[in-house]
Amino acid sequence: MRLTRWIMLVSLSLACVGLMSCSKEAPKDESGTPKAQTPSTDNSGAGAAVTAAQGQAAAGGLVPLPITLPKPQFTGTPTNLKGVTNLEPPLGRARPDFLAPADVTNVALNKPVTSSMDPPIMGELSQVVDGDKEATEDGLVDLGPMKEWVQIDLESPQEIWAILFWHFHKQERVYFDVVVQVADDPDFITNVRTLFNNDIDNSSGLGVGTDKNYIDTSEGKLVDGKKEVAQYVRLYSNENNLNDRSHYLEVEVYGRTPK
């Protein structure tokens, strides 16, 4: 009888040891209370890559436009803006990235350019799309006084995501009646769409605009293309606050072949 009871006690002890080895007890603090468990974090390169990929997927696969800016020519608060109204306030920081699909590029580079003044008073029209946007006299295209325009033939319909352009950013100045339009034909008769217009009194005869005047800087003016599909891009201006000229340094059109 005693032998049988001893065998039963040994069996129960072994069973308890087996159960303890199969389950991990939660760590306890000094009072004996189990501690809360913190999930592990993957800080490896693979984990970071997954996070970046997830962020890109969340943004719809969009990436910043591959913009290269010219050198800044002035800093501080502009002082030569007497009489300028409807002026947008300075952003106070760099312009946020404009996101677009990875296959969007500058489809205006070295494309044919025409103008309301041909030849210009100074420069060549081809300089408007030659990639040089530095604020130098050599790169400046002067279209003369009053309302003038430059036009770019993209040579095929393009899905336009953004239009970026520079007038003359060597000094603090504001160009008036800036209007950006796209169309299906070179005469701007068929399917004309206005993407930007700060002519608030319709002095240029292109309609009353609701956009604001702005100070030309090395960042240029970026206009949302709204994914409009068009072959021709036209930009108007009507003198500036320092003189009666309309100038252009560069125009970039970011787009791609329509899907």
**pLDDT single digits (tens) 86-99:** 999 888 899 999 99
Is 11 exposed, middle or buried, given 0-12, 13-18 or 19+ CB atoms closer than 10 A? exposed
Residue 9 reports pLDDT greater than 90: no
pLDDT bin (cut points 50, 70, 90) of residue 75 is low
Number of alpha carbons in the 13 Å side-chain half-sphere of residue 38: 3
Q: Which percentage of the chain shows pLDDT scores above 90? A: 69
The answer to whether position 90 is within a domain reads no
Rounded to an integer, the average pLDDT of 183-194 is: 97
pLDDT digits (tens, 9 = 90+) for 196-232: 999 999 999 999 999 999 999 999 999 999 999 999 9
Is residue 27 one of the residues assigned to a domain? no
Q: Which residues contact 200 (CB under 8 A, 6 or more apart)?
A: 86, 208, 209, 210
- Which residue would you say has higher pLDDT here, 20 or 163? 163
- Of all helices (H) and strands (E), which one includes residue 165? strand 147-166
Task: Tally the domains of the chain.
Answer: 1
The rounded distance, in Å, linking the Cα atoms of 245 and 252 is: 21
User: 56 falls in which pLDDT band (50, 70, 90)?
Assistant: low
93 within a domain of the structure (yes/no): no
CA distance 87 to 8: 94
Q: Could you tell me which residues come within 8 angstroms of residue 206 by beta carbon, excluding any fewer than 6 positions away?
A: 177, 179, 181, 194, 197, 199, 236
Which CATH number goes with the domain that contains 199? 2.60.120.260
What does the pLDDT average to over 146-160? Answer: 98
- Its domain, for residue 231, covers 104-256
Higher pLDDT, 172 or 175: 175
Question: Would you state the pLDDT for residue 227?
Answer: 98
Beta-bridge mates of residue 113: 152
Cα separation of 137 and 243, whole Å? 16
CB 134 within 8 A of CB 240: no
92 in a domain, yes or no? no
pLDDT tops 60 at residue 41: no
Q: Answer whether residue 79 is part of any domain.
A: no
Secondary structure (3-state) at 149:
strand
What was the pLDDT predicted at 58?
A: 43
d(CA 52, CA 23): 37
Is the residue at 223 inside a domain?
Answer: yes
Is 236 within the bounds of a domain? yes
Average pLDDT over residues 164-176: 93
Position 13 scores a pLDDT of 42
The Cα 234–Cα 184 span in angstroms is: 11
Mean pLDDT, the chain, as a whole number?
83
Q: Is residue 24 part of a domain?
A: no
Statement: residue 44 has pLDDT above 50: no
Whole-angstrom Cα distance, residue 135 to residue 35? 65
